[in-house]
DNA sequence: CATTAATGTGTTATTATGACGCAATGTACT
DNA sequence: AGTACATTGCGTCATAATAACACATTAATG
């Protein structure tokens, strides 16, 4: 696939790439979708190059889909990374030899790449990791247990999480991250996981319900230890409305 | 200058540029630093290309300085723009002929450019617009009276202002935008201009002073009509502290 | 010296927040 | 069956933040 791109490098934006931070929520844990790069024996964010005939927002969808099979998610640009040395150890001579890439064509790869970061919150259960190449492994990794990543992907991931934490104060989240029916404690765990701090149960309930995006269902969660919590769903219309207008006015 | 870049295009990141939104405050109005492009007879944001040996954040400073002479400002990346057609009418054949650029070299320019947007808030009085080339005109333009801009620069400017409006709810601003001594009504005008809405004088005073970043001076503004307002200055230490920790916790 | 258009200070009602208490529920254990 | 236990649901209270507004103060102006 990389060779395809090199053979047709006129069709791709030079010196530019896209990397995606895909976040899901499962077992009360925040998960990140990562790809195992066999040759480097490291993990990486799903990323790739930008076709010259696609808007970068479109290219982000293309890239994500081609690497993981994931489709139909809303990707949000959050930052662009371009330190001088960010990829000068990535496609070195050894690697190019290993990949059987001629030195001349390799130049397209060895120069500094600037990468545009996109992130998405997705429904864990609906995403079936599905690698493009057979040498690649796509997996959900607990965000607390993310191993060493290639390049500056750790920095990109951290920046995405920082952005998400700020978003949390401006927008409601959860619609894409939780199943259709969920409990308040589950939603609270999501918030606590992202913010990395404990919240008061009772105050959380009051605040989250006051936003007016939740519908209390006449149904309780079954097969749980202790008292069965009530099930809720998002009121899509109100949710969208709050997304548009934001949460805290501030001024 | 453009020819210099083309003759040494190996030294610049291909297909990538930086554009800067420089905002100042004067006469109770928000001003934008713009460059008049004579050949296009349009105005543009100060922008340019990225040296391959510079981090993009550094390149932003370089670019701004080379176009306007402005130095020593804190530039903040806010978004990256990459629609397919964003610059396909900019360096067309006619323009390349006008600039006496050979068709082969021109290819470096005619492809789609992705641009990284940076913005800064600066002290209007300390910035003396100082064009790099004699064919260029650098000027402060009232943000309400910005004329037609080249490419998607209007979109970039709008996005910068949107970002600033959000920042306003998370961070204190004004340190770079106002002179050392200023009045509360002046600060309020700044907020009102950015937010494009009226605020209540008395509530504004209470809220802004509660943040704890202002020092009330034992001095009044002179030569003003009506009652002379008190002068204030920012408490730099506390200001920096709030910048670090943010304003509204939210959760 | 009254007029005018600002600024400075204070009040009040309402709402949001943080820190809790306590009863209800369903599982697990004896 | 009965009790302990962890967790949920609902409520209280003091405090802080917010929005809307009233009134006195100040300085230039004619």
**Could you give the CA distance from residue A4 to residue B217 in angstroms, rounded to a whole number?**
67
Tokens of residue B175, six digits: 């340190």
Least confident stretch, A69-83, B72-86, B101-115? B101-115
C-alpha distance from B135 to closest chain A C-alpha (Å):
31
Contacts of A247 in chain B (CB under 8 A): 250
Helix (H, G, I), strand (E, B) or coil at B237: helix
Least confident stretch, A105-119, B45-59, B71-85, B230-244? A105-119
From the list A102, A7, A99, the residue with the least C-alpha distance to A49 is: A7
Report CB contact under 8 Å: A251, B111.
no
Interface residues, strand D, Cβ cutoff 7 Å: A 183-185, 201-203, 205, 220, 225-230, 249; B 200, 202-203, 206-207, 210, 220, 222-228
C-alpha distance from A156 to closest chain B C-alpha (Å):
14
Residue ranges covered by each domain of chain A: 1-169, 182-245
pLDDT of residue A132: 62
Residue given tokens 């002479």 in the structure block:
B69
pLDDT of residue A134: 62
Residue A63 and residue A46 in contact, taking contact as beta carbons nearer than 8 Å: yes
Residue A25 and residue A177 in contact, taking contact as beta carbons nearer than 8 Å: yes
B115-150 pLDDT tens trace: 999 999 998 888 877 666 666 889 999 999 999 999
Name the strand (E) or helix (H) holding A243. helix A236-245
Question: What pTM does this model have?
Answer: 0.93
pLDDT of residue B11: 92
CB of B144 less than 8 A from some CB of A = no
pLDDT of residue A133: 62
CATH topology of domain A182-245: Arc Repressor Mutant, subunit A (1.10.10)
Nucleotide nearest to B185 (CA to C1'): C7
Tokens of residue A222, six digits: 């079954």
pLDDT of residue A3: 78
**Could you give the CA distance from residue B232 to residue B85 in angstroms, rounded to a whole number?**
48
Contacts of B166 in chain A (CB under 8 A): 170
Residue A165 and residue A191 in contact, taking contact as beta carbons nearer than 8 Å: no
pLDDT of residue A39: 78
Domain A1-169 coded CATH 3.20.20.220: no
Residue A42 and residue A83 in contact, taking contact as beta carbons nearer than 8 Å: no
Please determine, for residue B113, whether its predicted confidence score (pLDDT) is greater than 70: yes
Least confident stretch, B3-17, B18-32, B58-72, B120-134? B120-134
Strands (E) located in A73-176: 76-81, 114-121, 136-142
From the list B166, B167, B162, B213, the residue with the least C-alpha distance to B187 is: B213
pLDDT of residue B74: 94
User: Could you tell me how many CB contacts below 8 A there are between chain A and chain B?
Assistant: 91
Residue A115 and residue A17 in contact, taking contact as beta carbons nearer than 8 Å: yes
pLDDT of residue B213: 95
- CA dihedral sign, ordered B75, B79, B84, B86: negative
pLDDT of residue A194: 95
pLDDT of residue B197: 92
Å separating the CA of residue A211 from the C1' of nucleotide C15: 14
Per-residue pLDDT of chain A (251 residues; tens, 9 = 90+): 777 888 888 899 999 999 999 999 998 899 999 999 877 789 999 999 999 999 999 999 999 999 998 998 999 999 999 999 998 878 877 888 888 888 777 778 888 999 999 999 998 888 777 666 666 889 999 999 999 999 999 999 999 999 999 999 999 999 999 999 999 999 999 999 999 999 999 999 999 999 999 999 999 888 888 889 999 999 999 999 999 988 877 88
Å separating the CA of residue B200 from the C1' of nucleotide C16: 20
Give Cβ neighbours of residue A45 (< 8 Å, ≥ 6 apart): A19, A20, A21, A32, A34, A35, A149, A153, A156, A157
């Amino acid at each position: 696939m990389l060779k395809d791109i090199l053979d047709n490098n006129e069709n791709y934006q030079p010196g530019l790439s896209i990397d995606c931070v895909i976040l899901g929520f499962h077992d009360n844990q925040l998960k990140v979708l990562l790809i195992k790069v066999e040759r480097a024996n490291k993990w990486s964010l799903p990323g790739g190059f930008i076709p010259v005939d696609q808007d970068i927002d479109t290219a982000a969808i293309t890239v994500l889909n081609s690497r993981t099979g994931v489709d139909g998610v809303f990707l949000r640009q959050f930052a662009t990374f371009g330190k001088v040395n960010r990829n000068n150890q990535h496609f070195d001579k050894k690697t190019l030899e290993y990949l059987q890439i001629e030195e001349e064509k390799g130049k397209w790869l060895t120069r500094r790449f600037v990468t545009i970061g996109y992130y998405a919150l997705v429904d864990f259960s609906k995403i079936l990791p599905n690698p493009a190449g057979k040498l690649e492994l796509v997996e959900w990794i607990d965000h607390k247990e993310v191993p060493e990543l290639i390049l500056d992907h750790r920095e990109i991931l951290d920046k995405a999480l920082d952005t998400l934490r700020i978003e949390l104060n401006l927008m409601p989240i959860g619609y894409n991250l939780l199943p259709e029916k969920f409990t308040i404690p589950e939603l609270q765990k999501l918030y606590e996981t992202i913010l990395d701090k404990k919240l008061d149960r009772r105050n959380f309930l009051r605040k989250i319900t006051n936003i007016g995006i939740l519908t209390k269902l006449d149904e309780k969660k079954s097969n749980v230890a202790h008292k069965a919590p009530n099930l809720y769903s998002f009121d899509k219309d109100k949710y969208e409305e709050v997304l548009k207008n934001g949460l805290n006015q501030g001024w």
